[in-house]
Amino acid sequence: MLEEVSALLASARPNPAHTGLGQLQQMGLLQAIITQNIDNLHQEGGASRVIEYHGNAKTLSCLRCNQRYNANEIEGQGPPKCDCGKILKPDVVFFGEPIPRKALQESYDLASDCGALLVLGTSGEVAPANTIPQTAKMAGATVIEINVESTVLTNYLTDIFLQGKASEVMTQLMEEVETMVAQR
């Protein structure tokens, strides 16, 4: 099972939504990305500041000496081991484990002090990530939502609803942004 997941993760590539967000960050238009994904695709799509609620499956850590390894540098059979001999744990947050406190704190700090919040690829129903749009809204931010269907957020929180698939809407959005930046 874990091997199948690893194979799936290894073959996944960033889509236009990942690369678009990465570009926005490189342009200084997007401060940070808060995600529940563990696939590292935001980073592979060019993003530098990614706050991960559920960790990252591309790395493993030693719980004894804190040494971190990339999943692709682990070789051989059997459970992956650290140089110190201890078995390595994937850097993902498993069911029942708490979301890293640093990630929570950082995301709330950002949400309570942002001009706009872009919400995509989420139904807005999973706690505690679903409280971020609320925090941002209460702090006066414009909430922009990209989703195929309307969600619980759409009617009571969203200021601008861009209906469609994240990768398609982001492609259009990036064309607009590039035109605007070129005209500046």
Active site residues: 54
- State yes or no: residue 65 binds Zn ion (CB under 5 A): yes
- State yes or no: residue 84 binds Zn ion (CB under 5 A): yes
33, 63 Cβ separation under 8 angstroms: no
Binding segment for Zn ion (CB under 5 A), chosen from 9-17, 58-66, 101-109, 150-158, is 58-66
Return the number of the residue (86 or 126) whose C-beta is nearest Zn ion: 86
- State yes or no: residue 68 binds Zn ion (CB under 5 A): no
Q: Which residues on adjacent β-strands are paired with residue 90?
A: 60
53, 34 Cβ separation under 8 angstroms: yes
User: 126, 129, 132: which is closest to 113 by C-alpha?
Assistant: 132
Give the number of residues in contact with Zn ion, rule: CB under 5 A: 7
51, 34 Cβ separation under 8 angstroms: yes
**According to CB under 5 A, which one of 21, 62, 110, 146 is a site residue for Zn ion?**
62
- State yes or no: residue 157 binds Zn ion (CB under 5 A): no
Helix (H, G, I), strand (E, B) or coil at 13: coil
- State yes or no: residue 1 binds Zn ion (CB under 5 A): no
- State yes or no: residue 82 binds Zn ion (CB under 5 A): yes
Alpha carbon distance 86, 184 (integer Å): 55
Residues that bind Zn ion (CB under 5 A): 62, 64-65, 67, 82, 84, 86
